Structure 1
Amino acid sequence: MAQVTADPLIGRLVDGRYEIVARVARGGMATVYRAHDRRLNREIALKVMHPHLAEGEQAASFRERFEREARSAAGLQHHGVVAVYDQGTDGDMRYLTMEYVPGTNLRQLIRDGDLTLRRSFAILDVVLSALAAAHAKAIVHRDIKPENVLLEEGTGRPKVADFGLARAISEVSNTTTGTVLGTVAYLAPETISTGHVDKRADVYAVGILAFEMFTGRLPHEGEGPIQVAFAHVNTDVPPVSAFAGHLGRPLDLLVRALTARDPDQRPRDAAVALDVLRSTFRQIPNEVLDIPAKAAPPPSSAAVKAARTAVVERPPAGGWVAQPLPPQPPPPPPARQPRRGGKVLLVVALVAVLFSAWWYTERGPGAYAVVPNGVVGVAAEQAEEALTGAGLTASRDQEYSSTVPEGEVISAQPDEGRRALRDQRVQLVVSLGPKLAEVPAGLVGMRERAARLALRGVGLTEIEVSREYSADVARGEVIWASVREGTRVPTDETVRLTVSDGPPPVTVPEVAGLAIGDATDALAAEGFDVAREDRFDEKAPVGTVIGTDPGGGEGAEQGGTITVVVSMGKEGTVPDVTGMSVEDATDLLEKAGYTVVVRGFGGLFGDGVMETEPTAGKKLKQGGEVTIWTW
């Protein structure tokens, strides 16, 4: 039986804060662990660079690349990007801490075969939106693949992970080592052949990802990485309709645009690719959007043949031969001359034709035109040209939209395919893009209510609050916000706040049965204040602790007050007041039903009770006299 070696880092406390719980994944540069952040009492993902990368001639460049990941990824704030929290060093260990996303990844979803076109487009929309945010900051991901698209447990929301190969575009150039960083099945042709990487390489990888999601397979499959890389450089990606019968021409054109071998023929960045994706989605019939990949009909034989035959030969020289014209029919016999009465009929017919033409164009079908397809989801100018070509005029309204890019038409009234009077304007609603709000300053450190009011004051009303214990942040104050102050975000974006629940609770020690002095010392050692309550008890000896509130073993706020209940013995016995002040002892004895006489000089100097007569625990009828001796 093979011996399994446990990961030596499991259970280790990194930097005095992050306790490693389990290994999640291992990659070419680092291993990812699930860890517990003891300071903020939350689960995080801890990414540890492989030790061997910090050795040898390339050690410095690897360390620099690993640390650059933290700086690049920490600057990305997007709901579709796995957040990076911290970066540090613990001895020889270099690590990142990131948002932990429980759930699965896109690879597993593709294997299950349950992906519908609707779900595929929703995932691709978030992936391209996240990449667009990165590209806007001149960051290229470099390693888009199903394993790096995480799907949140419960909600299924996608998040792009592992910007471990990301670099600022200004720093990207041909690799000095001759190696190509990335996963060969998703590498762009120019990356394989020259090592060059820019935003269009990410677009190509998303195109391959889309092909795989639509068909359940990769476009280029070979016996090894070299054969796959050769295919990327020398072969066009085949049409997806060749692999599933319900995938039509719009999807072929989408994948072709994203995976063009010439990078100049692709969308220039993820934002442009996102527009192409959304435009394609609007062209797909609703009835095919919910067909799972595993239930899709097979492709037609013609489509398969078309996919295999990528080159069509020209006919040989002289192959085009002029064909003789068919014989012409004989000319018709000349018409007979009309009679004189025919002139009257001709005038009547002409009037009838003119009237019909007037009726047709002013009151009949000719007074209408059909609003053409393709005016929704395109630039407003393009929509207006289409309407003009159909004999219609347009007017514009504008409104904000988080789903339709700025300048594109959201809707038309009358809608596409509907009739409209030619003298009636077609109302186009044009997108102003998402309505943006500037994130207020100082959210972190605000009281929760103040933070909510500040966010609502700028129009950010979707707010989710989670709570965590914190030894450093006062209860009710904001520890973390999902948006950075000063940035502009869509007003419909959900803002997530983490609010402190104060220090973590401390367990109350079990002190029942102890003498009151010992119990007080034990509770004070845990940082608690102590309040005393006395009561008669049939079993507990006089002066011993019956119990506490909160009880032993329960959690209580650090520095809080614990009430200790002390036995006065059986009813009719003298309670123990030794060590108390004269005032407190008198009050307790009178509550027990006795009269009190004070003796000694301690009362003058503030000394406590030395003893009583009768002594504690002695039987004495209520109403009897108890003497307090102070000295």
Structure 2
Amino acid sequence: MTTSQTDPMIGRLIDGRYQVRSRIARGGMATVYLATDLRLERRVAIKIMHGHLADDSTFKSRFVQEARSAARLAHPNVVNVFDQGQDSDMAYLVMEYLPGITLRDLLKDYGKLTPEQTIDIMEAVLSGLAAAHKAGIVHRDLKPENVLLADDGRIKIGDFGLARAASANTATGQALLGTIAYLSPELVTRGVADARSDIYALGIMMYEMLTGTQPFHGEQPMQIAYQHANDPVPAPSSVNPAVPPELDELVLWATEKDPDRRPSDAREMLDRLIEAEKSIRGDAVMQPTMVLPPAFAANDGETQIINPAIRQQVASAAPTATDTLSAAARRRRGKGWWLFALVLVLAAVAGGTGWYFGSGPGSLVTVPNVVSQAPAAATATLTNLGFKTAQAQEYSVTVPAGQVSSTDPKAGSAAGRGSTVTLRISQGPKPVTIQPLAGKTLDQATSEITGVGAKVGDTVKQFDPKVPANTVISATRASDGTDISGGGGYFEAATVNLVVSVGPVPDVAGMSVSDAQAALQKVGLETTAGPQSYSDTVDKGNVISAQAQKEGPVHPGDTLALETSKGPEPVPVPDVVGQTWDKAKKALQDAGFQLKYSAAADLLPGAFVVSKVSPSAGTQAPKGSTVTVNFAGF
């Protein structure tokens, strides 16, 4: 049984705008579907609250809160929220659609992750959560199921359904919310959460990523909750010896029982993670810098910064310069001052070079990923990193119009501080024109559609007596059902549905029932017994016609009823006894009978009188059967 047969939401148009296509996931509060935004012609994820919760003001308020919480965040590591509303008694939330998997799926497939993989994912999660904490939002339901790993490499936090303002009283007063395996001790014991509760959940997630298992287990949820409240989280290396000490310390710090001993928010934990990454991966992650004291500054009172290579040169050159200066002082004090001045100049040049390439205009900065952000927000991010910005436009099938669709240089590449990053702003899908499709072969129509960047959607096969097999009968826009058989305007990456002929239904008139069934089954049609009718042309028991059981076109898989012949229809034999042969002959032939009589009667038809017919007058006999005629005197 297919999803469309079991879920009434499939195919439904919500609020006159969102066409539901398929189900993605189902949770305790809502079900998430893949849908098409018909207004902007883009794929979105639409979360619809379960019907039995629609009358519960608490759940509805929590549902609306998710939209408001997520809408306040504009960050590349947080799922974007586009819209929120209500259609009839159904509350819904529209979010960006991210094809991919969750962190839970990844852990199921691989068991545990490497320290490097864990660091990469945690950096993205902490970056998004840091933005939430900065905006005063506590997620309260962090777990691998809510970390989305998109096919294009993006990592985002989703499902802010339990989010609350960090400044508000977040005690539930009811049953504990969130997933028990990631609840902090204060949530278990007092039902109160703040940003540090999110940190505890991240610590448990990090432990699970490094070891492939959760730190606490039990047959009942309360057993696990008790362990969260009372037992310390073990070091990940006790399960997986490959875990480095730096990550052990970070997990233990994040999962302290006392919230005051944890990182205060995601930004503090992210900074510590970056320090641990440098220790684990080496100085290649980020080159340190050195500050020269004012005594060796290029200008009086200024401080100069140099990179490690120049620092080494200065350090190795210092003893030589000192020895030379001492010797020269003993030989000739005047020349010693000249050498000292030379050392100062060299140090100033080295410091200036280090500043230029370390933090000045000559330094390289990684271009951040600002795709799907508003131009103003993207410009602010790049400006804070020292870039200049410019704007250009491009068509995009993945990013809504008005948002950043790409950058030049692209995200992740290195560019000089002060250089220009061009923000390409999406104009939405590119308008295209599709030529007439009706009358073309399926291959020709497919080439025409894909050639302009559109896609072939549903292809329905249909019998048609006038259109050759494998030829397009009609074409419609998948988004709104508009007929575009004769061509028309469209958008790149949009979908076209086709109706294709499979030729005429086979003519089975006159065939035996078994032969007719075989002929129809060969083209994918089923048969059933139909009515029986008289026929002057079809032998008794053979098929007169194959009739569709519903109005409209016939499609492969349909069932046809076979109408069979009962033979010619019986008619009464005319009463011609006592009539002359010329009149009797005409009456019998008009009734459809064959005649058997003496040929002499045709010589003088007006003289011969009928004395008897067999079958007798009034008897029912099939049309075409033979009537024997006798004449008086013969």
User: Against the structure 1 CA distance between its residues 81 and 397, is the aligned structure 2 distance closer, same or farther, given a 3 Å change threshold?
Assistant: same
Tell me which residue corresponds to 1:258.
Answer: 254
- 1:207 counterpart SS class: helix
Corresponding letter in the other structure for 1:481: Q
Q: What is the CA–CA distance in structure 2 between the aligned matches of 1:254 and 1:503, rounded to whole Å?
A: 51
Corresponding letter in the other structure for 1:189: P
Q: 2:167 aligns with which of 165, 170, 185?
A: 170
Q: What is the CA–CA distance in structure 2 between the aligned matches of 1:51 and 1:70, rounded to whole Å?
A: 18
User: Against the structure 1 CA distance between its residues 120 and 458, is the aligned structure 2 distance closer, same or farther, given a 3 Å change threshold?
Assistant: closer
Tell me which residue corresponds to 1:74.
Answer: 71
Within a 5 Å distance, the mapping from 1:161-560 to structure 2 comes to 161-177=158-174, 179-285=175-281, 396-397=304-305, 412-413=308-309, 420=316, 459-460=388-389, 465-467=394-396, 479-482=401-404, 497-501=425-429, 508=436, 553=485, 555-557=487-489
Q: What is the CA–CA distance in structure 1 between the aligned matches of 2:140 and 2:96, rounded to whole Å?
A: 20
User: Against the structure 1 CA distance between its residues 421 and 67, is the aligned structure 2 distance closer, same or farther, given a 3 Å change threshold?
Assistant: same
Q: What is the CA–CA distance in structure 2 between the aligned matches of 1:22 and 1:2, rounded to whole Å?
A: 11
Tell me which residue corresponds to 1:609.
Answer: none
Q: How many residues align?
A: 384
- 1:245 counterpart SS class: coil
Question: Which runs of 5 or more residues in structure 2 are unaligned?
Answer: 294-301, 320-342, 377-382, 406-410, 412-416, 441-483, 491-634
User: Against the structure 1 CA distance between its residues 461 and 263, is the aligned structure 2 distance closer, same or farther, given a 3 Å change threshold?
Assistant: farther
Q: CA deviation at 1:54?
A: 2.4
Q: What is the CA–CA distance in structure 1 between the aligned matches of 2:131 and 2:185, rounded to whole Å?
A: 24
Corresponding letter in the other structure for 1:499: Q
Q: What is the CA–CA distance in structure 2 between the aligned matches of 1:170 and 1:119, rounded to whole Å?
A: 34
Contact 1:40 1:468 survives alignment (8 Å): no
Contact 1:88 1:95 survives alignment (8 Å): yes
Contact 1:444 1:478 survives alignment (8 Å): no
Q: What is the CA–CA distance in structure 2 between the aligned matches of 1:62 and 1:279, rounded to whole Å?
A: 41
Post-superposition Cα deviations, 1:66-95, rounded to whole Å, max 9, x if no partner, equal 112111211211111111000011000000
Q: CA deviation at 1:103?
A: 1.0
- 2:79 counterpart SS class: coil
User: Against the structure 1 CA distance between its residues 257 and 419, is the aligned structure 2 distance closer, same or farther, given a 3 Å change threshold?
Assistant: farther
Tell me which residue corresponds to 2:125.
Answer: 127
Q: What is the CA–CA distance in structure 2 between the aligned matches of 1:16 and 1:2, rounded to whole Å?
A: 25
User: Against the structure 1 CA distance between its residues 105 and 458, is the aligned structure 2 distance closer, same or farther, given a 3 Å change threshold?
Assistant: same
Q: What is the CA–CA distance in structure 1 between the aligned matches of 2:76 and 2:2, rounded to whole Å?
A: 43
Tell me which residue corresponds to 1:26.
Answer: 26
Contact 2:287 2:308 survives alignment (8 Å): no
Q: Does 1:40 align with 2:40?
A: yes
User: Against the structure 1 CA distance between its residues 492 and 193, is the aligned structure 2 distance closer, same or farther, given a 3 Å change threshold?
Assistant: farther
Q: What is the CA–CA distance in structure 2 between the aligned matches of 1:193 and 1:260, rounded to whole Å?
A: 15
Corresponding letter in the other structure for 2:193: V
Q: Does 1:93 align with 2:25?
A: no
Q: Which moved more, 1:106-115 or 1:459-468?
A: 459-468
**Which has the greater radius of gyration?**
2
Corresponding letter in the other structure for 1:277: L
Question: Which runs of 5 or more residues in structure 1 are unaligned?
Answer: 287-372, 386-393, 399-410, 446-453, 470-476, 484-488, 513-551, 559-631
Q: CA deviation at 1:170?
A: 2.7
- 1:71 counterpart SS class: helix
- 1:46 counterpart SS class: strand
Q: What is the CA–CA distance in structure 1 between the aligned matches of 2:250 and 2:33, rounded to whole Å?
A: 37
- 1:222 counterpart SS class: coil
RMSD across aligned C-alpha pairs, in angstroms? 4.7
User: Against the structure 1 CA distance between its residues 436 and 138, is the aligned structure 2 distance closer, same or farther, given a 3 Å change threshold?
Assistant: farther
User: Against the structure 1 CA distance between its residues 508 and 163, is the aligned structure 2 distance closer, same or farther, given a 3 Å change threshold?
Assistant: same
Contact 2:292 2:305 survives alignment (8 Å): no
Q: CA deviation at 1:416?
A: 9.2
Q: CA deviation at 1:397?
A: 3.1
- 1:282 counterpart SS class: helix
Q: Which moved more, 1:491-500 or 1:35-44?
A: 491-500
Q: CA deviation at 1:3?
A: 12
Q: CA deviation at 1:374?
A: 13
TM-score (norm 2): 0.52
Q: What is the CA–CA distance in structure 1 between the aligned matches of 2:211 and 2:391, rounded to whole Å?
A: 37
Corresponding letter in the other structure for 1:467: S
Post-superposition Cα deviations, 1:527-586, rounded to whole Å, max 9, x if no partner, equal xxxxxxxxxxxxxxxxxxxxxxxxx9363338xxxxxxxxxxxxxxxxxxxxxxxxxxxx
- 1:52 counterpart SS class: helix
Q: Does 1:145 align with 2:143?
A: yes
Q: What is the CA–CA distance in structure 2 between the aligned matches of 1:280 and 1:265, rounded to whole Å?
A: 19
Q: What is the CA–CA distance in structure 2 between the aligned matches of 1:421 and 1:235, rounded to whole Å?
A: 56
Tell me which residue corresponds to 1:156.
Answer: 153
- 1:480 counterpart SS class: coil
Tell me which residue corresponds to 2:480.
Answer: none
Q: What is the CA–CA distance in structure 1 between the aligned matches of 2:148 and 2:193, rounded to whole Å?
A: 24
Q: What is the CA–CA distance in structure 2 between the aligned matches of 1:46 and 1:501, rounded to whole Å?
A: 21
- 2:65 counterpart SS class: helix
Q: Which moved more, 1:415-424 or 1:161-170?
A: 415-424
- 2:46 counterpart SS class: strand
